Every structure is written in structure tokens, then in C-alpha cells.
Amino acid sequence: MEETITTTEVGKKYGIIYALVTTLVSILPMVLEYQSQWLGLVSTITAIVVYIFATKEFKNENGGFMSFGEGFKITMMAAAIAGVVRAAVTYVYIKFLDPGFSERMQDSMIETWQRQGMSEEQIETSLRFAGGISNPEMASLIGIGMALLGGLILGSIVAAINKNEAEESF
């Protein structure tokens, strides 16, 4: 009897790959103190590529068939693993290895807002909002939530495109 690969096996495998890549993409700029608008795009492209490879591997290993639900399960598992690992590593980095990171980010935001012409009152209001979400604990929770939201949206799209359900015979 031919063994088939499970959605859990594929989800874990690609979740770890996705976690390693996105953790590197998010931590490296922190360490190098480099900010770029492109980093979010890199994470999104990475997610799409990982989801495509994961669902294609599952489909190829299962006789060319994969339901939408199987593809969705794989992508959500990969997103959850990547989100938790990335959040944990980011938390450790910000909380213990570079505790001044949050302050430097806040200074950078203020500088950007001043260049954009925001008034001191607008900056204060923005800082009150950003202060609530800029602590390492909240940033970790938001990071996990964003990974899951991305998995929900992008994973649904990839699973819908790559599905190939077996025909039911009665």
C-alpha cells in the first residue's frame, strides 16, 4: 500500500521553513537598524511562495488531488507556526537583547511624522496610540494575529487555486 503524506506533515514542514525565512527577514533589519517599506512586501511574497510549494507538494504526493480544506489546513498551519516562532524570536530580541529598540523606533516615527508636517498635537496623539502597541508583548500578539490573518487570506486564495478534488462516483 502506498503511503500518502498528511496535511499536518506538510504544514509543519513548510511552517518551519516559513518561520526561518520570515524570522530572518524581520530580525535582520532590527539588528542592522535598517528600515524599509519593502520588508512587508518580502514577507507577503514569502508567504505566497511557501503556500504554493506546500500545497503543490501535498497535491503531488496524493495522486494529484487536494481539497480546498486540505490546502487551507496546510497554509493555516504554516502561518501559525511561522507567526508564533517569529513572534517569540522578536520578543526575545526586543525584550532582552536590544531593550532600546522600541525607543529608537519611536524616535524614528517622530522624525518621520515631523518631516510629513504633523503638528505636535497630532504626534502626541499618534504616540499615545502607538505606545499601546509598541511594547514587546503586544507586538508579539499582533505579529501572531497578522500571520494568521495573512494565512487566512493568502492561504484561502492559494488553496482555492491549487485544489483539485477527486470526482465523486456513485
Position 116: which residue type? Q
Instruction: Tell whether 152 is covered by a domain.
Output: yes
Instruction: Tell whether 2 is covered by a domain.
Output: no
Task: Report pLDDT digits (tens) over 93-114.
Answer: 999 999 988 888 888 888 989 9
Cα distance from N-terminal residue to C-terminal residue, the chain: 24
Q: Would you give the DSSP letter of residue 36?
A: -
Q: Would you give the DSSP letter of residue 65?
A: -
Range of the domain at 64: 7-162
pTM for this structure?
Answer: 0.89
Instruction: Tell whether 70 is covered by a domain.
Output: yes
Task: Report pLDDT digits (tens) over 122-147.
Answer: 999 988 887 766 788 998 999 999 99
Position 104: which residue type? R
Q: What is the spatial distance between Cα 88 and Cα 73, in angstroms, rounded to a whole number?
A: 22
Q: What is the dihedral of CA 80, 82, 83, 84, to 10 degrees?
A: 80
Structural domains in the chain (count): 1
Q: What is the spatial distance between Cα 118 and Cα 120, in angstroms, rounded to a whole number?
A: 7
What does each C-alpha distance from 94 to 36, 73, 76, 135 come to in angstroms?
A: 18, 31, 26, 9
Instruction: Tell whether 1 is covered by a domain.
Output: no
Instruction: Tell whether 139 is covered by a domain.
Output: yes
Instruction: Tell whether 169 is covered by a domain.
Output: no
